[in-house]
Chain A
């Protein structure tokens, strides 16, 4: 769509003007400044001013695509939603894609071409590049990128190679699949991507793996997971893991074990399946677990799955392939879309060696940050300093960028043309929603320039990759997926059982995993993600070391002490958090924090652990030591108490299938208060804690949809936050085991709302749809409503968080992202979840204009749309056939704090487990 760019340009001007006006207007109303209306000179057809439009595009995580629908109003992208057509979104989103829209408006994005510290022009750079590359056949020329699976980008790299035959391309991804790659090579003699068909499995065993955890494949598996909750034919999930993971929290049987023991479980199961790997060395609880799992798996041949993770070794991976083959597990083996043969760590090390051996004299780093990612042992920074010509292409002037002589600003995905592939190779297009906010270019464009190709425009380059007539192209754009581009499953068989030596465990080991909010750290400057609480610790703005209670006691350390960890010669300091249910002998923390040059938001938050270890990207460092530090690093969390003072049974409710059978029907208690009037709709929400995996997508989605501001680390340590929707994390002993669960808590929209009678100015009122609405412009900020809210779901603007006093001075930048359908709340005003009133009212008006009622599924709240497990249901209680109406009759339906008889419209479904004894 060529008209797009000009449109975006005009709209931006309008947007900014409107903003200026609106800012003026939302502040004191006493004097009304003149407002301007600036119409288009030429209105693009299909566009209605102020109305949202959805565009299908793709966002990548570690190079792999998740299809999304980006919502744009007047040419401003304001929200990301999932693309139902895309197999790795299925209409859902994860925290990372939700937050991308904020990264687009990130004020710290690099906006110009730099030569050292001075701004310069592309011409200068090209001149310098010609001097450096002329008459070169690419010898000593290096290109460093992340994982590249985009056909267009691969074509650019090929072109570059044609131009410079001896050019060496190093590709590495900090969060990678090295172990499973070498594992599959060991098993099948070739690198394959294994795509587990979770929904087809009845028995699942995860050995130190977290399939439900964050990652490019999360949404697909999560949806499959939820498709098997509820009903009677439920899956039986066994998880053995050292540290809590989302999968572990959802397991029927969870065992906390060190990686070494987990390895032995695999040995046990392999032996049960006819292998002879010697006597497994199992301590008692582990043996019992292994036996039950083994029986389960063998009882469900053809419908049994075994996962193992990057924390284990290639042998383990290979063995699990063998086991899965014996179980004829529902797995598709595909050729990996990542064509590069070498492992990621291997590539990065090779790069470092070549740097030190001075084999590189011309270096291009394209959208990668080796200086941060690589262990300090590799000394990448010094290495780069020795290179004569260095250029960095990136969104930020990051750690690597400042080591390079040249910096080229990269376009954000929402400003770019391009394409991408998903884990299974499904290709999808990337299309811009707005013309570049700054003079930036896409990676493809820069590479094309470097290769001196004749086409250097991303749109043309992308179309060149996908040769087809306009209508076909349009269809691809609107679908967001390109039909039959997924790799075909292959018939493979495991050559032989790999030899499987006993692992030796020595001392305390440190487990590293990607940050559930910041991933590998490239998103560190995203305030939404920094303030998105990690599922188990509920920590924000930093990373902590998790330790088991026994280890803590043994080391004489208390919860929230600041500790110093020494591993392989390097040390780091972080707060320590005691985590019941974690295996003794393993401590854990996350990558992605401790950025040195991320920007106003992300710089020097938390501790950098990617620098540890002799080799890059090690998931497990053994022989670490840990001691109390004399420094103090504050542990900032949004939820102080995860252990419930004896209240768990009614706050986070759990039932086993057997219990489910005979649960008495709960009836509504009588009340003296007069019930609010019932209009033609009665909106209600049911949240299925049985399906919820605690991924936080809903939280960030809510933040994006409702202009919810961030408050920043200082405010958080003051005990303040603004999330309308929080995911309470609960740890509760149930029968013989320790259960872990999540409970998303939005406003309950009580029919007898305690917040309403206490407001002196009627700012908190009920409407005829049963919504408990907050009228921001009427609120004077007595905060009686929140004081009297038993669920504590209301949030107060202690400062002008979304305006002049915004954290890190992000105010203006955030305003560009603001949803124009939602008021920006000023200082001193109470706010809270309103069931996405703007969406309700939009749907309602559409229906009324057509003289009909709003039908089921027409209104989808932001949290509901984001949820990968469809755990959130929303609808009209007056419609007996509506899903919510049916769910509220379900036996495992419950009301939070029912004894208060506030008659909430938001209610819950219990977490259900198959069996009573969970080990």
Chain B
């Protein structure tokens, strides 16, 4: 009777058996990797905006305060984007007929608002509140990165739940004095460890509650 299999069959069999275990494990690992990668988290993407607004210029060069435009940041969950009027408080004086500001002027004239592309996005079931973070000494830079160096705005951090938790579990790693919150150039002092412990006590931060689901989801 003719040979049914060539000798190679044995090695194939071994490979198959190994694969049965290797492939699923590999698949999980790969998924996990991709999930974490900027590809999945939309990090470092600059989106086309109606006006090529440069934080590098306004914050870095001119040193404008965040609150000048993001008026809601201390009061509300939503930091807010500047109304056309706020843009025009300056740009009715300077760069009055710069080409790139045409959309702003149009909006001002027609009363039709500008349509900005959202850069930092959270799911709807996450109720993030800017005001409380600012009030408890979490600097803008912690999440938004060095905006003073960003010509066009991009998402700096992964904004995954795991990332949120990393801070909610250890707020001491990121907390800073309230008056440094809007300081883009603040760096942690040498004795940050005990400073932060003091601040947490001083700002009455109840760390246990920070990791409750109800803190962000409802």
Direct contact of A and B (CB under 8 A): yes
Q: Is A386 part of the binding interface, using a Cβ–Cβ cutoff of 8 Å?
A: no
Q: Is A41 part of the binding interface, using a Cβ–Cβ cutoff of 8 Å?
A: yes
Residue of A nearest to B205 (CB): A848
Q: Is B29 part of the binding interface, using a Cβ–Cβ cutoff of 8 Å?
A: no
Counting chain A CB atoms within 10 Å of each CB, which of B135, B206, B213 scores highest? B213
Q: Which 10 A-B pairs have the closest CB atoms?
A: A767-B212, A35-B118, A777-B125, A39-B81, A41-B84, A40-B83, A43-B83, A837-B218, A849-B135, A767-B214
Q: Is A350 part of the binding interface, using a Cβ–Cβ cutoff of 8 Å?
A: no
Complex: how many Å from CA A821 to CA B132? 16
Q: Are A851 and B131 in contact (CB under 8 A)?
A: no
Q: Are B72 and A679 in contact (CB under 8 A)?
A: no
Residue of B nearest to A50 (CB): B78
Contact stretch, chosen from B17-25, B108-116, B190-198: B108-116
Query: Closest CB-CB distance, B212 to chain A, in whole Å?
Result: 4
Contact of B203 among A821, A841, A851 (CB under 8 A): A851
Contact stretch, chosen from A22-30, A622-630, A660-668: A22-30
Q: Are B121 and A32 in contact (CB under 8 A)?
A: yes
Q: Across the interface, which residues of B come within 8 angstroms of A42, CB to CB?
A: 83-85, 111
Complex: how many Å from CA A545 to CA B17? 73
Q: Is A822 part of the binding interface, using a Cβ–Cβ cutoff of 8 Å?
A: yes
Query: Closest CB-CB distance, A72 to chain B, in whole Å?
Result: 15
Interchain Cβ contacts within 8 Å, total number: 138
Q: Across the interface, which residues of A come within 8 angstroms of B173, CB to CB?
A: none
Complex: how many Å from CA A765 to CA B208? 14
Q: Across the interface, which residues of B come within 8 angstroms of A899, CB to CB?
A: none
Residue of B nearest to A826 (CB): B125
Q: Are B75 and A51 in contact (CB under 8 A)?
A: yes
Q: Is B204 part of the binding interface, using a Cβ–Cβ cutoff of 8 Å?
A: yes
Q: Are B124 and A823 in contact (CB under 8 A)?
A: yes
How does the 8 Å CB contact mask read for B117-133 relative to A, with 1 for contact and 0 for none?
11001011101010110
Q: Across the interface, which residues of B come within 8 angstroms of A558, CB to CB?
A: none
Counting chain B CB atoms within 10 Å of each CB, which of A680, A768, A769, A837 scores highest? A768
Q: Are A34 and B117 in contact (CB under 8 A)?
A: yes
> When A32-B42, A775-B213, A841-B218 are in contact, do A26 and B125 touch as well, CB less than 8 Å?
yes
Residue of B nearest to A42 (CB): B85
Complex: how many Å from CA A837 to CA B218? 7
Q: Is A710 part of the binding interface, using a Cβ–Cβ cutoff of 8 Å?
A: no
Q: Is B82 part of the binding interface, using a Cβ–Cβ cutoff of 8 Å?
A: yes
Complex: how many Å from CA A26 to CA B125? 7
Contact of A26 among B116, B124, B213, B217 (CB under 8 A): B124
Query: Closest CB-CB distance, B150 to chain A, in whole Å?
Result: 17
Residue of A nearest to B121 (CB): A35
Q: Is A773 part of the binding interface, using a Cβ–Cβ cutoff of 8 Å?
A: yes
Q: Are B208 and A845 in contact (CB under 8 A)?
A: no
Q: Are B77 and A50 in contact (CB under 8 A)?
A: yes
Q: Are A823 and B114 in contact (CB under 8 A)?
A: no
Q: Across the interface, which residues of B come within 8 angstroms of A279, CB to CB?
A: none
* Main secondary structure on A side of the interface with B: loop
Q: Across the interface, which residues of B come within 8 angstroms of A51, CB to CB?
A: 75-77
Q: Across the interface, which residues of B come within 8 angstroms of A43, CB to CB?
A: 71, 83, 85-86
> When A34-B118, A845-B132 are in contact, do A777 and B217 touch as well, CB less than 8 Å?
yes
How does the 8 Å CB contact mask read for B80-101 relative to A, with 1 for contact and 0 for none?
1111111000000000000000
Q: Are B118 and A37 in contact (CB under 8 A)?
A: yes
Residues of chain B having any CB pair with chain A under 8 Å? 42, 47, 71-72, 75-78, 80-86, 107-108, 111-118, 121, 123-125, 127, 129, 131-132, 135-136, 203-204, 206, 208-209, 212-215, 217-218
Q: Are A38 and B113 in contact (CB under 8 A)?
A: yes
Given contacts A34-B117, A38-B115, 18 further A-B contacts (CB under 8 A): A25-B124, A29-B123, A35-B117, A37-B118, A39-B116, A41-B112, A42-B111, A43-B71, A43-B86, A49-B76, A767-B212, A767-B213, A778-B213, A837-B218, A838-B127, A848-B204, A849-B132, A851-B204
Contact of A39 among B42, B77, B114, B203 (CB under 8 A): B114
Contact of B206 among A32, A680, A773, A837 (CB under 8 A): A680
Q: Are A768 and B208 in contact (CB under 8 A)?
A: yes
Q: Is A857 part of the binding interface, using a Cβ–Cβ cutoff of 8 Å?
A: no
Query: Closest CB-CB distance, A78 to chain B, in whole Å?
Result: 16
Complex: how many Å from CA A364 to CA B204? 65
Q: Across the interface, which residues of B come within 8 angstroms of A776, CB to CB?
A: 125, 217
Query: Closest CB-CB distance, B118 to chain A, in whole Å?
Result: 4
Q: Across the interface, which residues of B come within 8 angstroms of A39, CB to CB?
A: 80-84, 113-114, 116
Query: Closest CB-CB distance, B82 to chain A, in whole Å?
Result: 6
Complex: how many Å from CA A197 to CA B53? 66
Complex: how many Å from CA A834 to CA B214? 10
Q: Across the interface, which residues of B come within 8 angstroms of A455, CB to CB?
A: none
Q: Are B218 and A838 in contact (CB under 8 A)?
A: yes
A window 11-37: CB within 8 A of B: 13-14, 22, 25-26, 29, 32, 34-37
Query: Closest CB-CB distance, A568 to chain B, in whole Å?
Result: 55
Q: Across the interface, which residues of B come within 8 angstroms of A59, CB to CB?
A: none
Query: Closest CB-CB distance, B202 to chain A, in whole Å?
Result: 9
Q: Is A10 part of the binding interface, using a Cβ–Cβ cutoff of 8 Å?
A: yes
Query: Closest CB-CB distance, B128 to chain A, in whole Å?
Result: 11
Contact of A49 among B42, B80, B84 (CB under 8 A): B80
Pull 26 A–B residue pairs with CB atoms less than 8 Å apart, ordered by A. A14-B113, A22-B124, A25-B124, A29-B123, A35-B121, A36-B118, A39-B83, A39-B113, A40-B84, A40-B85, A41-B108, A42-B111, A43-B71, A43-B83, A43-B86, A50-B78, A767-B213, A767-B214, A771-B214, A776-B217, A821-B127, A834-B214, A837-B218, A841-B215, A845-B131, A848-B135
Contact of A25 among B83, B113, B123 (CB under 8 A): B123
Q: Across the interface, which residues of A come within 8 angstroms of B81, CB to CB?
A: 37, 39
Q: Across the interface, which residues of B come within 8 angstroms of A25, CB to CB?
A: 123-124
A window 72-94: CB within 8 A of B: none
Complex: how many Å from CA A49 to CA B76? 8
